[in-house]
Structure 1
Amino acid sequence: MEQSTLSRRGLGLRGVDFETVSPGYTLFAHLTSPGTVRLIANDGTEAHRWDLPFRPGRHARILPNGNLAYNGVHPDSPHLFPLWQKYRGGVMQQLDPEGKVLSEYRDPMAHHDQHHLDNGEILYTTLEALTPSQAASIPGGIPSSEAPDGKAYADCIKHVNASTGELLWKWRAIDHLSPDLFPLQPHYAREHWPLINSVFPLADGNILASLRSVSAVIIISRATGEVIWHLDSKTVAQQHCASELEDGSILIFDNGTFRNGESATYSRVIQVSRATKEIIWQYKDKTFPMAFFTPFMGGAQRLRNGNTLITEAAFGRMFEVTMEGEICWEYVNEDLKTYEGLQGAEELESVGFDYPANAVFRAYKYAPEEIPWLKR
């Protein structure tokens, strides 16, 4: 009998409703691959793929110019702590459909979200070590769980010109976040605060960021660096992938780990009014909420026809839902592999990631006219 639960439940295309699914192709990077990025059609067939020389440092996107924006794992990043091997990135590339590198920018301390802008600039998250007094000022977390070198690290956000390397803007969490207002959750290691897992440029020029280890989504003033909007753990729980929609509201993948006031664990996608902070739309599994859950990672993208593409990341599951919450497309990454043979594998295996996985950090979908080079 098949012993892999994921395989037994079914891989590949699980279903499609061609009447309600949005036309297009879904792009994803398989995290335990050497560097595989795939473009999948609605019928489940592979329309295109890239096999790149760096393990995925989270995700890939297709830019308006048709190039692939890819975040790979930096080959010379320092070994800060075991989980750093899992979510670090650092090689930020633009490539053509054949995989030719058109531009590249590197930062060995980059992690999670490296957001390639349409003009060739990059907005991304990176780390800096805190001083002992700064680290001591941060409450919460698991006692004595700092990095092996005894240090704690805090996030920075940088905006750079990828071509010239010029630093256009920089924000340091320790300078602008009050540790008392943003304490580490009690089950979280003290090695990394506040763990920014997504950054997004808003239409008004300010910066939207998701802070996982403190369960918060914030808006940062580009002019002053101050936090001018804050969604806290009463609404979100270790969330990911905060983005702005056309009406100015905020779409968030809410993981649900240690959700405030609930013992049952489930994930959901929520759309939050920026003006009132109220949830104005949400998706959770309609038949059995706990059946949709990923404890870490995850993505949500509002599509042109109003549907939402959702990435249930830890299980390699990507699916599309209508505004009414009906699933109209579902695909599960069929490639199950361990990190064996990849850089950082030994450290990852030491913290429990030693099993065959099909994990996908975040997927994106593109209409056919957004990929004019694709010949079908």
Structure 2
Amino acid sequence: MERNKKILSGLLVLLLVIIAFEYGFLSRQYKLFPYRYFKNLSPPVKEKKAGLRPVLRPMRKGRWHLSRDGIKNTELSDKDQKQLSKLKAVPYLSGYHAAPPRSGVTEYEKQYAYPGLNLCISGHTPGAYLMDMEGNILHRWGIEYKEVWPESDDLYENGYRTFWQRVHLFNNGDILAIFEGLGLVKLDRDSHLLWSYKGRCHHDLYVDKTGKIYVLTRREIAQRDELHLQGPILDDRITILSPQGKEIESISLIDCFLNSDYASVLDKMKRKGDVLHTNTVEIIEGDLSNNNHVFKQGQALVSIREINTIAVVDLEKQKISWALSGMWKGQHNPTLLKNGNILIFDNRGYQGKSKVIEFDPLTQKIIWSYRSTPENNFFSSTVGVSQRLPNGNTLITETDNGRAFEVMPDNKIVWEYINPYRAGEQKELIATLLDMIRISPNQISFLPKSAPSPDPD
């Protein structure tokens, strides 16, 4: 009798386990209770969509990052420190960066820094803010993804990764903003939506002197015989929009390589997934007298991270006219300077650390560089921006560490800003700083003479 009871108890437990397993499967499949609750609480998980690379779902809204080695928050317990160390093992996690003890403008030498306003994009919110050199916020823009596209699919239903990646500010206060991987919006100075373009826009945009908008987009390709694909890929494109947001043309970068003498560059490309990961587009305009006729007006300078290559695209002929690799790894934000050189953020090409270099595109000679030192640890595995200022200084955005700083030609730091936006129970997490652009005050007309300073979010 006792034995029969044990058998029945065992069978009952087994039956309950099977029922729980089946309900768990159905809950995940059909989003039954408590699917949504646990989905919001769960740590990052990998999701596959359309056969492409698994996507890490971040643990909190926005874009955050892991802590910089060597920074220890004294308010954290040993247990918390160990937990953060475990989190560091997760690749490209969009969250969780231990906050340094300082924040806001931490360095400002007025006699050396270039005066202006700073247009900032922080990963804590889908928005941007304009601040003065002392860190006072003068104006904000922002709009939620669901306000623009309420029919959004499940992947973005809770606002995950719906941050702004890049913006363009107009003189009158209107602003263009990329919802990363999703679309492009134009807002007025009061954040009212003027128009939207849902074309899987990503990473970067450029507005030329005629008002046309050049934005990076992507489409999925299932097969291309000449590429010998092993699965679906993302075909990065330069899409041209009218000032009103209407599509004029969309140009495949893969086609541009295949149509050119640089087709062999694609031999380095993976055969499925995000094979290019283009992260910069800049239209070549202005005085080209210092370029020895290498580049032409209207061509596009692009950065392609996955093959460690920068290239110039002839948009009329839809072919690559120049390409270069080997001097950087995982690079971002090449920009053509007035002297004919190129300034670029090299994310991982300096002994596993970052550097910013200015080089001659003809000779590949490095003219100037800023590198990590023991005194000033400098590294951003993702994103990263550099801007040459009119006084010869360089503004560098160290995205992953939520930091921007201005250096003189001799590498002296004369201005520094550390993102004040925090998360976590002990404010131990810092929002990444996706971009910072220094703007001359005479470039904008919408601010009052004495602009108010709104309280931080």
Q: TM-score range by the shorter chain?
A: 0.7 to 0.9
Confirm whether residue 58 of structure 1 aligns to residue 162 of structure 2.
Answer: no
Superposed CA deviations along residues 142-190 of structure 1, whole A, max 9, x for unmatched, are xxxx8xxx522121111121426141452332452466423457xx894
Matched residue, 2:103:
11
Match of 1:124, as an amino acid? V
- Is 1:69 the counterpart of 2:175? The answer is yes
The alpha-carbon distance between structure 1 residues 288 and 230, as it changes in their structure 2 partners (threshold 3 A), is farther
Match of 1:197 in 2: 279
Q: How does 1:69-218 map to 2 (within 5 A)?
A: 69-73=175-179, 87-93=180-186, 95-101=187-193, 103-134=194-225, 137=228, 150-163=231-244, 165-168=246-249, 170-177=251-258, 180-184=264-268, 190-203=272-285, 204-218=297-311
Q: Distance in 2 between matches of 1:195 and 1:164?
A: 23
Counterpart for residue 344 of structure 1: none
Which amino acid letter does the alignment assign opposite residue 39 of structure 1? L
Q: Which residue of structure 1 lines up, in the alignment, with residue 112 of structure 2?
A: 20
Task: Give, in whole Å, the separation in 2 of the partners of 1:19 and 1:222.
Answer: 43
Of 294, 309, 314, which residue of structure 2 is paired with 1:221? 314
Q: Distance in 2 between matches of 1:190 and 1:362?
A: 29
Extract unaligned runs of 5+ from structure 2: 1-73, 77-95, 146-161, 286-296, 451-457
* Whole-Å separation in 2 of the counterparts to 1:28 and 1:8: 19
Shift, 1:205, TM fit: 1.3
Q: 2:237, 2:250 within 8 Å by CA — same for their partners in 1?
A: no
Q: In structure 2, how many angstroms separate the alpha carbons of the residues matched to 1:242 and 1:67?
A: 26
Change in CA separation of 1:6 and 1:371 when aligned onto 2, cut-off 3 Å: farther
Tell me the CA shift for residue 72 of structure 1.
Answer: 3.9
Give the structure with the higher percent strand. 1
- Counterpart residue identity of residue 330, structure 1: E
Name the % identity: 24
Q: Contact conserved, 1:253 with 1:270, CA < 8 A, in 2?
A: yes
2:412 equivalent to 1:330: no
Partners of 2:177 and 2:226 in 1: CA distance: 29
- CA contact under 8 A between 2:175 and 2:188: conserved in structure 1? no
Q: Which amino acid aligns with 1:237?
A: K
- Distance change >3 Å, CA 164–CA 109, structure 1 → 2: closer
Secondary structure of residue in 1 paired with 2:165: strand
Of 97, 107, 124 in structure 2, the residue corresponding to residue 32 of structure 1 is 124
Cα distance in structure 2, aligned partners of 1:127 and 1:174 = 13
Residues of 2 paired with 1:89 and 1:134: CA distance? 28
Superposed displacement of residue 51, structure 1: 3.1
- Look up the equivalent residue of 1:359 and give its one-letter code: T
Q: Does the aligned pair in 2 maintain the 1:120–1:163 contact within 8 Å?
A: no
Q: Secondary structure at the match of 2:244?
A: coil
Offset at residue 335 of structure 1 (A): 0.7
Task: State whether residues 97 and 401 of structure 2, in contact with CA within 8 Å, keep that contact through their aligned partners in structure 1.
Answer: no
**8 Å contact from structure 1 (residues 298, 311) kept in 2:** yes
CA change 1:131–1:299 in 2 (3 A) is same
How far residue 333 of structure 1 moved from its aligned partner, in angstroms, is: 1.0
The code of the aligned residue for 2:439 comes to Y
Answer yes or no: is the 8 Å Cα contact 1:152–1:192 preserved in 2: yes
CA contact (8 A) 2:127 2:164 kept: no
Q: Distance in 2 between matches of 1:324 and 1:68?
A: 37
How far apart, in 2, do the equivalents of 1:15 and 1:125 lie?
Answer: 35
Conservation of the 8 A alpha-carbon contact between 1:89 and 1:110 = yes
1:367 lines up with 2:367 in the alignment: no
Letter paired with 1:276: T
Q: Please give the per-residue CA displacement for 1:268-319, whole angstroms capped at 9, x wherever unaligned.
A: 1111213222221211235557x10000101011112111111101111011
Bigger Cα displacement from structure 2, 297-306 vs 175-184: 175-184
Match of 2:384 in 1: 298
SS at match of 2:129: strand
Distance 1:330 1:68, change over 3 A: farther
Partner residue in 1 for 2:150:
none
SS of the residue corresponding to residue 372 of structure 2 reads coil
Whether the aligned pair in 2 keeps the contact of 1:208 and 1:218 (CA below 8 Å) is yes
What's the counterpart of residue 332 of structure 2? 240
1:277 aligned partner: 364
What count of residue pairs does the alignment treat as equivalent? 324
**Structure with greater Cα Rg:** 2
Find the counterpart in structure 2 of residue 343 from structure 1: none
Amino acid at match of 1:58: Q
Any stretches of 5+ residues in structure 1 without a counterpart?
Answer: 74-86, 139-145, 339-354
Q: Which residue of 1 aligns with 2:21?
A: none
